[in-house]
Amino acid sequence: MNAPLTAVNHRLYTPANELAAHAEHLQAMSLSDLLVSDSASAVQRAESLAFTVGTLHVDFSKQRLTTRTIALLVEWAQSCGLEKKREALFAGDVVNPSEHRAALHMAARWPAGVTPPEGMAPGVSFCQQQRLNMAEMVERLHCGQWFGAIGQAITDVVHIGVGGSDLGPKMISEALSDRPSQAHLNVHYVSSMDGAQLLPLMERLDPATTLLVLASKSFTTADTQFNARTALAWLSDSLEVDVATVCRHQLIGVSSKPEKMTEFGVPEAHQLVFKDWIGGRFSLWSPIGVSIAIQLGMRSFNALLEGAHAMDHHFLETPLTENVPALLALVGAWNCQFLNISTHAVLPYDGRLKSLPAYLQQLEMESNGKSVCLDGRSVTHTTCPIIWGDVGPNAQHAFYQLLHQGSHTVSADFVAVAKRKVNATPRVEKSLATQEQLTLANCLAQAQLFALGDDAIPSALRGHMAQGYRGNQPNSVLLLKQLDAWSMGALIALYEHKVFVQSVLWNLNPFDQPGVELGKKLANSLCHTLEGNPAEQSVVSDPSTEQLVRKVGEWRH
Ligand code: F6P
């Protein structure tokens, strides 16, 4: 199943077969053969593989590819019908057949005054109305006019959600946390099912001034429901008012199921709704992002949407040979399908981007971590690689050893920020500027060392420096001019479209996640078993699980 297409297929000309043959040829070369040369063609190669969209610069020149590879990859994408499928996506066609839905997250960031594609138009007006509702709530909070159950103004917001209802808002909030809004509201994120993140907040926050944002597309996810119930019990007990009163004053709901919010007790005026054609992991632009807006203000939230829309426009209008999301996808597919690299590291060189790897893990692996095609057939090659990563400079002191001298070939995205604006004393500013420069230098050095290995050692120092660096770890460098809302919007939309393009190449549905359902059902049954009331049609029994159930029971009672 993992084998790439082989020479047997070469008789038949298809772009994929041609790419397989081309991959064999390129595998025989080292990355330094491609990169390091005095010839004008090496310079030209580097230049032709770097692209700028607004404040985002993406450099593919340390990938194992040539301009011929790009031409073949583009031909492959065309043969898969990418251009037509891209149009269908933006037109609101059903691109998620298993759930019979469109995937119109772009509607949530479509600007007023720009005519959307025909099929997207109704969606855009719905999203704009919800954005207005959201802006009103944010304004009330920012003006200190939102009062809790015992009449005190809200100071803290606890966003409760999980997966797509948590990772995106949390990642953006962290990335832009040094851009304070005027409002001094503290936003906290709670996702873990066990209440471990909630507990310290309940100990620390003032129940009279804490607002809960309950974010859940389905409004049934157990993790979120149970965290919310515990938080409501805390507010009700501490304020000595009933839960219904707490819900009326200290709860905002965000979901695609308004009826479920009403049933739960979220007052209609505090409900933010989005449509089911926005997938959970694509939803940070929708009211699911309300906590971003509460933390940073609507101005920043709108700038985030503008950056994402700029990337939508680029993706929709730019020829594939210069289309950055399409190229990011093609390069990724080239690495895993044709060069057999099954693991991909995301390495941000900025502490504010610490949650980017986790966010991309869900975005990419929940979308394209599949092996059954849209036509029901099993794929015959590798699909989405394993995505992982951490803050680069810290990871240099942790797992880079394996990347430099271990036995695995890994591809990587280095993500860096060119400049940072800080307000501090001149001495602190200067010192921070030195730290930034050091970080950028480390990023560029590591990207070079990943690619060149020992060949990164300058000739004058050969023999004087430790050797044994494997090199040949292909990587891209994504450079943001600054870490602001616009750039973050563009960066995340870039990855979203990467996921869509790869799904077209692999003929997958990227917008459902059937593989996560059974685990939830089994856990429900095991919950009854642990309570001592096994459900009638309980779990399939196996001695391994049974002995763990016994041990848990022994230690809990
Ligand atoms: O378990 C997977 C999942 O369904 C994700 O796709 C989703 O983002 C997450 O759970 C949370 O779902 P919801 O927003 O419906 O609570």
Same domain, 252 and 289: yes
**Is the CB of 227 within 6 Å of ligand 1?**
no
Compute the distance between CA of residue 127 and CA of residue 307 in angstroms, rounded to an integer.
Answer: 17
Compute the distance between CA of residue 230 and CA of residue 198 in angstroms, rounded to an integer.
Answer: 9
Query: Strand locations in 342-474, DSSP E?
Result: 343-348, 386-389, 411-419
Compute the distance between CA of residue 451 and CA of residue 346 in angstroms, rounded to an integer.
Answer: 15
**Is the CB of 191 within 6 Å of ligand 1?**
no
**Selected catalytic residue, list 366, 370, 381, 498:** 366
Lowest mean pLDDT among 45-59, 156-170, 323-337, 512-526: 512-526
* pLDDT tier for residue 464 given thresholds of 50, 70 and 90: confident
How confident is the model at residue 367, as a pLDDT? 98
Q: Give a yes or no: residue 92 inside a domain.
A: no
Q: What's the CA-to-centroid distance between 162 and ligand 1, angstroms? A: 6
Lowest mean pLDDT among 2-11, 182-191, 351-360: 2-11
- 537 pLDDT higher than 80: no
Question: Which tens digit of pLDDT belongs to each residue from 228-275?
Answer: 999 999 999 999 999 999 999 999 999 999 999 999 999 999 999 999
Q: What mean pLDDT comes out for the span 97-112? A: 97
Contact 350, 488 (CB under 8 A): no
Q: What mean pLDDT comes out for the span 460-485? A: 93
Same domain, 135 and 53: no
How confident is the model at residue 210, as a pLDDT? 98
CATH, residue 447: 3.40.50.10490
Domain final position from 303, 327, 359: 303
Lowest mean pLDDT among 79-83, 233-237, 262-266, 422-426: 422-426
Q: What's the CA-to-centroid distance between 175 and ligand 1, angstroms? A: 22
Compute the distance between CA of residue 516 and CA of residue 499 in angstroms, rounded to an integer.
Answer: 18
Q: Which of 218, 223, 273 to mutate to test the pocket of ligand 1 (most atoms within 8 A of CB)?
A: 218
**Is the CB of 218 within 6 Å of ligand 1?**
yes
Q: What is the DSSP string of 368-388?
A: H---B-TTSPBPSS--SPEEE
Query: SS3 for 236?
Result: helix
Confirm whether 159 is a catalytic residue.
no
Element (H, E) at 84: helix 82-90
* pLDDT tier for residue 2 given thresholds of 50, 70 and 90: very low
* pLDDT tier for residue 11 given thresholds of 50, 70 and 90: low
- 7 pLDDT higher than 50: no
Q: If we measure between CA atoms, which residue out of 80, 91, 489, 120 comes closest to residue 306?
A: 489
How confident is the model at residue 421, as a pLDDT? 85
**Is the CB of 162 within 6 Å of ligand 1?**
yes
**Selected catalytic residue, list 397, 531, 536, 554:** 397
- Ligand 1 atom with minimal separation from the 167 CA: 8
Query: SS3 for 323?
Result: coil
Looking only at the bridges linking them, the beta strands covering 251-255 and 271-273 are parallel
Q: What mean pLDDT comes out for the span 379-402? A: 97
Q: Which of 105, 193, 221 to mutate to test the pocket of ligand 1 (most atoms within 8 A of CB)?
A: 221
List, in order, residues 6 or more apart from 471 with CB less than 8 Å away: 30, 31, 32, 449, 450, 451, 452, 453, 454, 455, 456
Compute the distance between CA of residue 110 and CA of residue 302 in angstroms, rounded to an integer.
Answer: 10
How many structural domains is the chain composed of?
A: 3
* pLDDT tier for residue 42 given thresholds of 50, 70 and 90: confident
Q: What mean pLDDT comes out for the span 199-208? A: 98
CB burial class (10 A; 0-12, 13-18, 19+) of residue 416? buried
Q: Give a yes or no: residue 447 inside a domain.
A: yes
Q: What distance separates the 2 farthest-apart alpha carbons in the chain?
A: 78
**Is the CB of 255 within 6 Å of ligand 1?**
no
Query: SS3 for 400?
Result: helix
Same domain, 250 and 117: yes
**Is the CB of 165 within 6 Å of ligand 1?**
yes
Q: Give a yes or no: residue 88 inside a domain.
A: no
Same domain, 500 and 358: yes
Same domain, 154 and 191: yes
Same domain, 220 and 368: no
First to last CA, the chain: 47
Same domain, 223 and 280: yes
What percent of the chain clears pLDDT 90, i.e. is strictly above it?
87
- Ligand 1 atom with minimal separation from the 224 CA: 16
* Residue 169: other Cβ atoms inside 10 A: 28
Question: Which tens digit of pLDDT belongs to each residue from 165-179?
Answer: 999 999 999 999 887
**Is the CB of 396 within 6 Å of ligand 1?**
no
Q: Which residue has the tokens 């989405």?
A: 384
CB burial class (10 A; 0-12, 13-18, 19+) of residue 143? exposed
Lowest mean pLDDT among 9-18, 139-148, 182-191, 364-373: 9-18
Contact 444, 23 (CB under 8 A): no
Q: What is the mean pLDDT of the chain?
A: 94
Same domain, 350 and 266: no
**Selected catalytic residue, list 408, 421, 430, 520:** 520
CA atoms 390, 393, 394, 398: torsion sign: positive
Q: What mean pLDDT comes out for the span 106-115? A: 96
Same domain, 291 and 334: no
How confident is the model at residue 152, as a pLDDT? 98
Confirm whether 309 is a catalytic residue.
no
- 460 pLDDT higher than 90: no
* pLDDT tier for residue 536 given thresholds of 50, 70 and 90: low
Q: Give a yes or no: residue 3 inside a domain.
A: no
* pLDDT tier for residue 39 given thresholds of 50, 70 and 90: confident
- Minimum CA distance residue for ligand 1 atom 6: 280
Contact 67, 26 (CB under 8 A): no
**Is the CB of 225 within 6 Å of ligand 1?**
no
Compute the distance between CA of residue 544 and CA of residue 401 in angstroms, rounded to an integer.
Answer: 36
- The residues pairing with 101 across neighbouring beta strands, listed in sequence order, are 96
Same domain, 261 and 201: yes
How confident is the model at residue 40, as a pLDDT? 78
Compute the distance between CA of residue 539 and CA of residue 148 in angstroms, rounded to an integer.
Answer: 44
- Ligand 1 atom with minimal separation from the 283 CA: 8
How confident is the model at residue 180, as a pLDDT? 65
Q: What's the CA-to-centroid distance between 193 and ligand 1, angstroms? A: 13
What length does the chain have?
Answer: 557
Q: Give a yes or no: residue 96 inside a domain.
A: no
Q: What mean pLDDT comes out for the span 153-167? A: 98
CA atoms 441, 443, 446, 451: torsion sign: negative
Domain final position from 303, 328, 356: 303
**Is the CB of 163 within 6 Å of ligand 1?**
yes
Q: What's the CA-to-centroid distance between 163 and ligand 1, angstroms? A: 5
Same domain, 134 and 239: yes
How confident is the model at residue 182, as a pLDDT? 64
Q: Provide the domain limits for residue 395.
A: 15-79+318-457+469-506
Q: If we measure between CA atoms, which residue out of 138, 128, 99 comes closest to residue 280?
A: 99
Confirm whether 24 is a catalytic residue.
no
Contact 273, 258 (CB under 8 A): yes
Q: If we measure between CA atoms, which residue out of 391, 373, 173 comes closest to residue 292?
A: 173
Q: Which of 99, 159, 165, 522 to mutate to test the pocket of ligand 1 (most atoms within 8 A of CB)?
A: 165
- Tokens at residue 470, please? 């494997």
CA angle 140, 142, 143 (to 5 degrees): 65
- 5 pLDDT higher than 70: no
- Minimum CA distance residue for ligand 1 atom 1: 516
- Minimum CA distance residue for ligand 1 atom 16: 216
Q: What mean pLDDT comes out for the span 404-420? A: 97
- 181 pLDDT higher than 80: no
- Ligand 1 atom with minimal separation from the 513 CA: 6
* Residue 160: other Cβ atoms inside 10 A: 27
Q: What's the CA-to-centroid distance between 164 and ligand 1, angstroms? A: 6
Same domain, 145 and 183: yes
Question: Which tens digit of pLDDT belongs to each residue from 503-535?
Answer: 999 999 999 999 998 888 888 889 888 888 887
Q: What mean pLDDT comes out for the span 138-165? A: 98
Q: Give a yes or no: residue 102 inside a domain.
A: no
Q: Give a yes or no: residue 310 inside a domain.
A: no
Q: Give a yes or no: residue 98 inside a domain.
A: no
- 482 pLDDT higher than 70: yes
